[in-house]
């Protein structure tokens, strides 16, 4: 690179340092249940998406790998060696998609290599110039990126403001061939949930299509852990339901549930699907294992929601801004550097909760995001509200102090 281009990158990093926005990769160690080695100590991992504890379930892993000393590439193979449209579509894919079909009431299911690939590929494949996306303002970056790549027009309605969405539908319906309403069911930074029933009614009233990303809801909501759409009885009414294996299901990859024509259209037009090497058999078979286990874990889901509600209430009692109604509990600090400082105080006390800063969240709303897991209990987390409150009392102004890189 030329000296000028190197200077541009160095200058950008320097500005990020000054704003308390520079990110670094954490050095972490061995996991043990909800605990994670951080430096020389074990810390309670509050920055994980392992909402049911399946990724850290040693007994389940032991059962899965039982007999693995006899090489079985169809079950434990570590490489797919090709895309699904070539020779990577091993039998485990068919079995997993049949499992999903059975759980989701006979609808067609397709498995993808990651949640990001799924959202970018689905949005960019299904819409084109002349179509319109109406997306919740706080939709995940993968959805935004896919909508921008599509060539369709993108408008964003205010977060969870369905009256605003309805006004946009009335204003723009006649001018567009297809309108896609896009929302997450559980929003990952605020922990709040969408009103899926209202979204279904709006899509019916205005002849739109509805895409719901259930990434943070699969495994956590619904009698069988199928998400908020299951809880609200709306699975048949959602045109595209996207879920992930990489969070509560403790695996890797993603899936979409839709009708047969849309499924076949995606297989033929979705570039991240066509041009990506398939997941290895070991991952796909593990996803079958955790999907089946999750469907039976209603007791763990009840415990998880109880734990989150108790933590949220304890934060409010100490006048700490929080919100949501899911397993994700935010503690909103405001400026970037104080959020880093609170995270450091928590780490000193055995809690691993990384600060969330812009551009992931809006400027002035940096926060700690406590992602809880069903393998935690109240005694493990009850000290958190007092630690956060004490730190904020020591620095009530919220002024930026000497930078702590985090």
Active site residue 40: no
Active site residue 216: yes
- Residue 97 backbone phi and psi in degrees, to 5: -70, -30
Percent helix, strand and coil across the chain, each to the nearest 5: 40, 20, 40
For 214, other C-beta atoms within 10 Å of its C-beta total: 29
Question: What is the side-by-side strand order in the sheet with 254-258?
Answer: 108-112, 254-258, 240-244, 209-213, 179-184, 132-136, 153-157
Catalytic residue among 50, 97, 213, 232: 213
Contact, 114 vs 252, CB < 8 A?
yes
Q: Residues of 281-311 as b/e, b for ≥16 C-beta within 10 angstroms?
A: bbbbbbbbbbbebbbebeebbebbbebbeeb
Active site residue 6: no
Active site residue 140: yes
Radius of gyration of the chain (CA): 22
Catalytic residue among 117, 140, 203, 303: 140
Per-residue three-class SS string for 188-246: CCCCCECCHHHHHHHHHHCCCEEEEECCCCCCCCCCCCCCHHHHCCCHHHCCEEEEECC
Give the torsion sign (CA, 230, 236, 242, 244): positive
Active site residue 205: no
Catalytic residue among 184, 230, 232, 300: 184
154/179 Cα distance (integer angstroms): 10
Catalytic residue among 49, 124, 185, 251: 49
Residue with tokens 């930074």: 189
Strand 240-244 and strand 209-213: the pairing is parallel
Catalytic (active-site) positions: 49, 140, 184, 188, 213, 216, 247
């Amino acid at each position: 690179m030329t000296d000028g281009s190197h200077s541009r990158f160095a200058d950008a990093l320097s500005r990020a340092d000054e704003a308390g926005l520079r990110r670094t990769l954490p050095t972490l160690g061995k996991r043990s249940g909800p605990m994670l080695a951080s430096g020389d100590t074990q810390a309670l991992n509050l920055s994980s998406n392992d909402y049911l504890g399946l990724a850290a379930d040693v007994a389940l892993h032991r059962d899965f790998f039982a007999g693995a000393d006899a090489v079985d590439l169809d079950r434990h193979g570590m490489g797919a060696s090709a895309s699904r449209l070539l020779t990577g579509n091993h039998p485990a894919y068919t079995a997993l998609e049949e499992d999903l079909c059975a759980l989701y009431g006979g609808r067609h299911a397709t498995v993808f290599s990651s949640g990001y690939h799924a959202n970018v590929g689905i949005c960019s494949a299904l819409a084109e110039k002349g179509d319109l996306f109406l997306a919740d303002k706080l939709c995940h970056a993968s959805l935004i990126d896919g909508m921008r790549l599509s060539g369709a027009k993108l408008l964003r309605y205010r977060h969870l403001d369905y009256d605003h969405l309805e006004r946009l539908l009335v204003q723009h319906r006649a001018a567009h061939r297809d309108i896609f309403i896009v929302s997450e069911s559980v929003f990952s930074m605020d922990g709040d949930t969408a009103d899926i029933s209202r979204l279904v009614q709006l899509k019916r009233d205005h002849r739109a299509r509805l895409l719901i990303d259930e990434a943070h809801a699969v495994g956590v909501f619904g009698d069988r852990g199928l998400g908020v759409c299951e809880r609200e009885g709306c699975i048949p009414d959602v045109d595209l339901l996207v879920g992930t294996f990489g969070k509560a299901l403790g695996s890797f990859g993603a899936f979409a549930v839709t009708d047969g024509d849309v499924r076949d259209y995606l297989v033929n037009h979705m570039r991240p699907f066509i041009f990506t090497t398939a997941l290895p058999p070991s991952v796909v078979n593990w996803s079958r294992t955790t999907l089946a286990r999750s469907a039976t874990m209603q007791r763990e889901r009840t415990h998880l929601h109880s734990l989150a509600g108790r933590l949220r209430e304890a934060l409010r009692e100490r006048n700490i801004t929080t919100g949501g109604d899911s397993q994700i509990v935010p503690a909103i600090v405001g400026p970037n550097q104080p959020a880093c400082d609170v995270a450091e105080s928590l780490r000193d006390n055995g809690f691993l909760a990384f600060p969330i800063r812009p551009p992931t969240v809006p400027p002035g709303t940096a926060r700690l995001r406590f992602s809880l897991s069903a393998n935690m209990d109240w005694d493990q987390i009850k000290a958190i509200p007092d630690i956060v409150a004490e730190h904020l009392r020591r620095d009530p102004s919220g002024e930026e102090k000497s930078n702590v890189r985090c």
